[in-house]
Chain A
Amino acid sequence: MIPTVFIITVAVFWMLKLAPGDPLDLLLAGNPDMSPEQVAHIKRLYGYDRPIYEQYGRWLLQVAQGNLGYSRIYHRPVTSILPDRLWNTLILTGLSLVLSLLVAIPIGIYTALRQYSILDYLFSFLAFFGIAMPVFWFGLILILIFSVQLQWLPPGGHYSLEQGAGFFTATRYMVMPVLVLSLFSMASWMRYMRSGMLEVIHEDYVRTARAKGLAESMVIIRHALKNALIPMVTLIALSIPGLISGAVLTETIFSWPGMGRLIYDSLINNDFNIAMAVFLIFALLVALFNLAADLLYAFVDPRVVYT
């Protein structure tokens, strides 16, 4: 795992440096009072004029000492920025994960058991709508309806905008972003669950369970659902690193200060310390959750045994 993470950091650092220009070029372009001499001076101050390997070496040494450096955008230690952003993202993505599961799994099961019923058609339609709907557009439509027209919910922002915000105030700020963020996963997981259930309910062991005279609920929950959930475990485990990385579009539309926007801003502004810290964390998480998904197989599928 360590060599993988090391290679990822080298590749990311190199790619970041390959991108043309730096923030100082933009300053130079728009500011008539900024002379090339001043720009060269600032580049020297920030070490932009040093070779890539030297810059990477300095970063690696710093990280090895437990220091992720200072953000060039926010002028704070990276370690003081990440926790808040991570927490904001986890609230948003965690709630959307829970909501997606709470909606997708029961409906997936129901539509599989009542295949070709009116509700099956209705939920299929809604699922395709959710998969096809662009997040950006859906978010703006919700804002127009619930914020501009009805004025029920704030159009965006973080609940810290209101001092002493309580549970309900905080929830009001999260309703729309959570809905938008969960729409796609809710819709796609509903379809996965439905097809997974359809596959297993026609299996011999389900027929046998029914033949034994088990109650229908026992047949569904203990025999069918347990097997249908196996592919869902992989899906969910692999989506967890995505939860940490945030959702750039949703966070941007709703002005939610989470990890997605932090990454975007750091890349746009060449804030290398933030970008590198975030990618380092992602690399570790992806490796870790892949491992977790493999281990979980053994738990949900007795046929898998690690020796």
Chain B
Amino acid sequence: MKRYSIAVFFFIFGLAITGCAAPMAPADGAMEMEEAGPKVLVVASSQEPENLFIMWGSTRTGSDAMSFMWRKPIAFNGDNQPFAEILEALPSQEDGTWVVDEEAGTMEVTYKLRQGLKWADGEEITADDLAFAFEIYSDPDYIYYSESFPVKSIEVVDDYTAILHYGQINLFPEQEVRTHIIPEHFYRPLWEEAKAKGGNPWENFGNIEEVSIKPLVNGPFQVAEWVPGSHIRMVRNPHFNIGPAPKIDEVLYRIIPDLNSLSVSVASGQVHLTDGWLSLEQAASMDSAPEVDPIFVPALWLEHATIQINRPPLNDKRVRQAMLHAVDREAINEALFKGQQPPAHSWINSAHPAYNPNVPVYHYDPERALELLAEAGYTPNANGQLADGDGNLLEIPITTIAGDRTREQVAALIQAQWQEIGITSEVNPVSARLLFSETLFDPPNFEGIAIWRWVFNAKVEPRSWWYPGQPAATLDQLFAEGNPWAENERNKELIDMIDAELDQEKRYALLQEQQIIWAEELPVLPIYWHVRVATVNTALQGYQPADQAMVGWNVEEWGLE
């Protein structure tokens, strides 16, 4: 009898488990859909949004989640073009809504709001809401307060008209996505209360549930529940009238921190959409899931190597040029990225109209690399290692982010190819925290190169990146006075001219000249352009990604089959 007791125990235990394991519907939300219940869109991210207040977002996951709930005066669409979302039209010089005073160096931009638009509580959206958002923006207690924000004041003309007074000439008022609109009638009392409370007013304001967790919004969806670490459930905003009423009933924004688990959830049909979280490799593995379409969205994310440009050997541009010639970036693209992430030749993406197709291109050419290095004084020693006349080896260490598999692979390939021509190199992986603090900044503390990513926007403004003395940001000390790049007068001159030029075509021509200097000097080594990987379940219709557009910019047009 006892002999069978264990077998009986396991039998009962097995029954209990299989009893719970009822056959499963394709998605958590889809389960409800099959029962003709609400249509639930499941979107997944590997990071938790930090908050859901439109004036506070700083991470991509936060912006993604907010894109289902907030609408702005100006936004970007799926063709990477700005469009008037709450405004009647984009400001333009032709219709007099953008007036430049070149003598005074100032300008005025008129925002005309569409009439009859509503907040989620049914109150109307007015110009006072725009002015109130600016009032917070201009308050030194605001978290992202900046004296350099170009708009200096907002004048409310009537309920639907406001004039933005710029303290300087700004080339892109029709692309100004930093102007926000928040419901004044709802948030002013909370803001005043936060200020009256003492201490840090922004912290007091941000800790209010109606600000950071359940904000009063104007987009197609609003927060119904946020379970930290699990999901945000968004339901339809009953008063939404900025666009058509959404076809789906709920958005379930899931947080799945482990990327393998996220990938499996996509493959098993549990998640309809991920945007920018999975790797190319994981997207490629979706071949076995016919109901999942991987989409590769060209992005203005430049994978590059920051260089110790102030010290030998990398203060010599011939060495920098040789380093690029010695790396087969096309082969890296094919081997690691299945041809999706092409080599970068400039700081402007080749798909951008300002790109100069005639910039010097550093194709894989080890012999040319050796010639350049010989000109710079580095020749092979008896061991085949490149060394200068005093016998000092040409050493170029590579710093990259530990645990980032792709970057570690790229670094290893670069190291191997440099070693082939005699450059001594080693890979130093450091944690992201260390790289973005003591290694790159405050002040830079590394030798050789450091591989990481810069995110550009479509406005292609070179000043903050390539003008010595500007925030360039934060890496300014790498472009310190004394190195040839920092002292390139023509580069500075061109950037001054680019900033003053209002004609787009002329501006692009100046940018093209600046790119030639840049590519000749190579202040950083461009490696490749990233793509953003999205995975879309075939049940989802209408999703239209673009680099500049927020994920849910047109969610009201999406449908679920």
A175 contacts B471, CB within 8 Å?
no
Instruction: Encode contact with A along B450-477: 1 for CB under 8 Å, 0 otherwise.
Output: 0011111100000011000001011000
Complexed CA–CA distance, A163 and B32 (Å):
10
**Cα separation A148 to B265 with both chains bound (whole Å):** 8
Task: Find chain A residues with CB under 8 A from B474 CB.
Answer: 28-29, 36
Nearest chain B CB to A175 CB, angstrom units: 5
B261 contacts A by Cβ under 8 Å: yes
Q: Give the residues in chain A near B33, CB-CB below 8 Å.
A: none
B:224-265 near A, CB below 8 Å: 225, 227-231, 233, 252, 254-258, 260-261, 264-265
Are A147's CB and B440's CB within 8 A?
no
Q: How many residues of B contact A (CB 8 A)?
A: 78
Question: How far does the alpha carbon of A37 sit from the alpha carbon of B231 in the complex, in Å?
Answer: 34
How far in angstroms is the closest Cβ of chain B from A192? 18
Inter-chain contact A20/B433, CB cutoff 8 Å: yes
Are B21 and A172 in touch, CB under 8 angstroms?
Answer: yes
A35–B20 CB distance below 8 A: no
Q: Say if the beta carbon of A32 comes within 8 Å of chain B.
A: yes
Which listed residue, A75, A107, A110, A254, touches B51 by the CB 8 Å rule?
A75
* Residues on B with beta carbons closer than 8 Å to the beta carbon of A25: 433, 436-437, 441
How far in angstroms is the closest Cβ of chain B from A148?
A: 5
User: Does A194 count as interface, using CB distance less than 8 angstroms?
Assistant: no
The CA of A200 and the CA of B17, in the complex, are separated in Å by 35
Chain B nearest CB: distance from A49 CB in Å? 13
Contacts of B482 in A (CB 8 A): none
Q: Which of B267-318 contact A (CB under 8 A)?
A: 267-268, 270
In the complex, A71→B452 CA distance in Å? 29
The answer to whether B17 touches A252, judged by C-beta atoms less than 8 angstroms apart, is no
A residues in contact with B252, CB < 8 Å: 161
Question: Contact residue range for chain A?
Answer: 35 or more
A144 within 8 A of B: yes
* Pair B433/A152 contact, Cβ less than 8 Å: no
Once the chains bind, are B229 and A31 in contact (CB under 8 Å)? no
Complex Cα distance A20/B432, Å? 10
B433 — which chain A residues lie within 8 A by C-beta? 19-21, 25-26
Assuming the contacts A151-B23, A252-B258, asked whether A262 and B229 have C-beta atoms less than 8 A apart, the reply is yes
A168 within 8 A of B: yes
Q: How far is the CB of B304 from chain A (nearest CB, A)?
A: 13
Task: Give B211 Cβ to nearest chain A Cβ, in Å.
Answer: 8
Q: What is the chain B residue whose CB lies nearest that of A255?
A: B256
Q: Determine whether the beta carbon of B261 is less than 8 Å from that of A26.
A: no
Docked Cα-Cα span, A119 to B252, in Å, equals 47
B436 proximity list for chain A (CB < 8 A) = 21, 25-26, 28-29
Check B382 for interface membership: any CB of A closer than 8 A: no
Residues 207-263 of A contacting B (Cβ, < 8 Å): 252-255, 257-258, 261-262
Q: Nearest Cβ in chain B — how far from A71, in angstroms? A: 8
Structural contact, B22 and A32, CB atoms closer than 8 A: no
Min CB–CB distance B99 → chain A (angstroms): 25
Residue B50 at the A interface, CB < 8 A? Answer: yes
Residues A147 and B268 in contact, CB atoms below 8 Å apart: yes
Q: Mark A125-166, 1 if CB is under 8 A from B, else 0.
A: 000000000000000100110111011111111101111000
B24:A147 contact, CB within 8 angstroms: yes
| Whole-angstrom distance between the Cβ of B373 and the nearest chain A Cβ | 31
- B83 CB within 8 Å of chain A: no
Contacts of A161 on B, CB cut-off 8 Å?
A: 28, 230-231, 252, 254
B115 interfacial contact with A, CB 8 Å:
no
Is B438 in the interface zone, CB < 8 Å from A? yes
Q: Are B264 and A148 in contact (CB under 8 A)?
A: yes
Task: For B20, list chain A residues within 8 Å (CB).
Answer: 153, 168, 171-172, 175
Q: Which of A22, A42, A70, A265 contacts B143 (CB 8 A)?
A: A42
B175-209 contact mask (Cβ, 8 Å, vs A): 1 or 0? 00010000000000000000000001011001101
The reply on A74 being an interface residue by CB < 8 A is: yes
Q: Which residues of B contact A36 (CB under 8 A)?
A: 471, 473-474
Let me know if A143 and B434 touch, CB within 8 A.
Answer: no
A106 is an interface residue with CB less than 8 A from chain B: yes
What would 9 A/B residue contacts be, using CB atoms closer than 8 Å?
Answer: A21-B438, A27-B59, A37-B471, A84-B228, A147-B270, A151-B24, A156-B261, A162-B28, A171-B20
Q: Beyond the given A20-B438, A29-B452, A34-B58, please list 19 additional residue pairs across the A-B interface where CB-CB is below 8 A.
A: A20-B434, A26-B432, A30-B455, A32-B454, A35-B471, A35-B473, A41-B143, A45-B200, A75-B51, A76-B213, A140-B261, A152-B21, A156-B261, A157-B254, A160-B227, A161-B28, A168-B22, A172-B24, A258-B229
Among all A-B residue pairs, the 9 with the closest Cβ atoms: A257-B229, A21-B437, A152-B21, A75-B212, A29-B436, A21-B433, A171-B20, A158-B230, A257-B230
